[in-house]
Amino acid sequence: MRRTGFLYDERYLLHRTGSGHPECPERLTAIFAGIASSGLLEKVRRITAHRPDLAWIEAVHPRDYIERLEQACLNGETEFHGPDNQMCRATFQVALLAAGGILDTLDLIMSGELDNAFCAVRPPGHHAEPMYAMGFCYFNNIAIAARYLQKRWGIGKVAIVDIDVHHGNGTQLIFEADQTVFYYSIHEHPTFAFPGTGREFEIGRDKGLGYTKNSIVVPGQGDEIYRFLLERDLVPALEMFRPEVILVSTGFDAHADDDMADLKLTTEGYAWVMRKIRELADRFCGGKLVSILEGGYCLERLPELGRDHVAILLGD
């Protein structure tokens, strides 16, 4: 059995998005319930969050942006950069705690106390651009994590594997010219699904040319095409890149029962995908793997998806 961390902090429930909004606190309690009811809580190391040093947020987002988000919260505004991004007075603090909890988790991995971890955080992050909140995201958690690994722990090469059904436009934008962070994403075809980026011809630029890779899934497709594309695109990409740590943007919204998009990945399909990523982490990174929650909105499926996810990290 592996030493697996599980980041979950009840303060993540305090980010309120208003009634009927899909990015709701119940998503996290559903995931937690699935993990708790299958007896996995006793097998993982529980992690709660600390407020991070703002310098780590500033490694991705300009101070000006951070201050404007804080001010909007203090003013009691209910949306930020468009109606998708509903918020409350706690949103800024919760968003900080999401990033902060992830950094705490990375410390435990890098100091050798843990092998891998699942960070069940809210709000999500992969759509957030340095200066722009988008798609329910305020701080780009996974980008902050990658920069932290590099600056705090001296890691040279970080791979980000994004399995959310939507393309992580923010993450891609942040690293598109950077050859030290490989960004791989598999998602629904951008002509149909938000945000409309992540086409196959987006492959990075300048020094980062060849360090971005997008796999496209046509609406209606599921398990079979995921297997095919991960073997065809992700495996050779990581063989070439040889990351020292793998970070995963875990979105459960490619599930067939999730109506935010049109893909048909099953619960078993998700398990296969995660095992494949674990196998790659074993091959290249001595198992060092940190999964960070992005989307996933089907409250009926989230318990089993969260449970399997943690079970696979534990070595199942």
Catalytic residue set: 127
Tokens of 50: 């600390």
Shortest separation between residue 191's beta carbon and Zn ion, angstroms:
16
Q: Per rule CB under 8 A, is residue 166 in the interface with another protein? A: yes
Give the single-character DSSP code of 46.
E
Shortest separation between residue 220's beta carbon and another protein, angstroms:
6
Q: How far apart are CA 316 and CA 309, in angstroms?
A: 9
Residue 220 binds: one of Zn ion, another protein, none (C-beta under 5 to 8 A by kind): another protein
**Of 87, 109, 110, 193, the one binding another protein by CB under 8 A:** 193
Choices 28-36, 93-101, 128-136, 234-242 (CB under 8 A): range interacting with another protein? 128-136
Residue 251 binds: one of Zn ion, another protein, none (C-beta under 5 to 8 A by kind): Zn ion
Within 38-179, residue ranges assigned H as helices are 54-58, 63-74, 91-110, 141-153, 169-175
Q: How far apart are CA 33 and CA 117, in angstroms?
A: 17
**Of 23, 84, 164, 244, the one binding Zn ion by CB under 5 A:** 164
Q: Per rule CB under 5 A, is residue 208 in the interface with Zn ion? A: no
In the complex with Zn ion, the residue whose CB is nearer, 108 or 137, is 137
Torsion of CA 15, 304, 292, 275, to 10 degrees: 180
Q: How far apart are CA 173 and CA 199, in angstroms?
A: 13
Choices 43-51, 154-162, 191-199, 274-282 (CB under 8 A): range interacting with another protein? 191-199
Residue 301 binds: one of another protein, Zn ion, none (C-beta under 5 to 8 A by kind): none
Q: Per rule CB under 8 A, is residue 18 in the interface with another protein? A: no
Q: How far apart are CA 215 and CA 198, in angstroms?
A: 8
C-beta separation of 165 from 251 below 8 A:
yes
Q: Per rule CB under 8 A, is residue 127 in the interface with another protein? A: yes
Q: Per rule CB under 8 A, is residue 202 in the interface with another protein? A: no
Choices 28-36, 203-211, 212-220, 280-288 (CB under 8 A): range interacting with another protein? 212-220
Radius of gyration of the chain (CA): 18
Q: Per rule CB under 8 A, is residue 84 in the interface with another protein? A: yes
Q: How far apart are CA 95 and CA 219, in angstroms?
A: 31
Q: Per rule CB under 5 A, is residue 166 in the interface with Zn ion? A: yes
Residue 20 binds: one of another protein, Zn ion, none (C-beta under 5 to 8 A by kind): another protein
Own/partner pairs, 50-57, CB within 8 angstroms, 24+ separation: 50/97, 50/100, 50/101, 50/104, 51/93, 51/96, 51/97, 51/100, 52/96, 52/99, 52/100, 52/103, 56/99, 56/103, 56/144, 56/147, 56/148, 56/151, 56/152, 57/96, 57/99, 57/139, 57/144
Shortest separation between residue 296's beta carbon and another protein, angstroms:
12
**Of 62, 112, 156, 220, the one binding another protein by CB under 8 A:** 220
Determine the size of the site formed for another protein (CB under 8 A): 28
C-beta separation of 99 from 151 below 8 A:
no
Choices 102-110, 161-169, 236-244, 302-310 (CB under 5 A): range interacting with Zn ion? 161-169
Q: How far apart are CA 264 and CA 254, in angstroms?
A: 6
Angle, nearest 10°, between helix axes 25-37 and 302-314?
A: 50
Helix or strand (DSSP H, E) at 235: helix 235-241
Residues from 221 through 280 that contact another protein (CB under 8 A):
258-260, 262
Choices 76-84, 115-123, 247-255, 307-315 (CB under 5 A): range interacting with Zn ion? 247-255
**Which residues are near another protein by CB under 8 A?**
20-22, 82-84, 127, 134-136, 166, 169, 189, 191-197, 218-220, 258-260, 262, 297
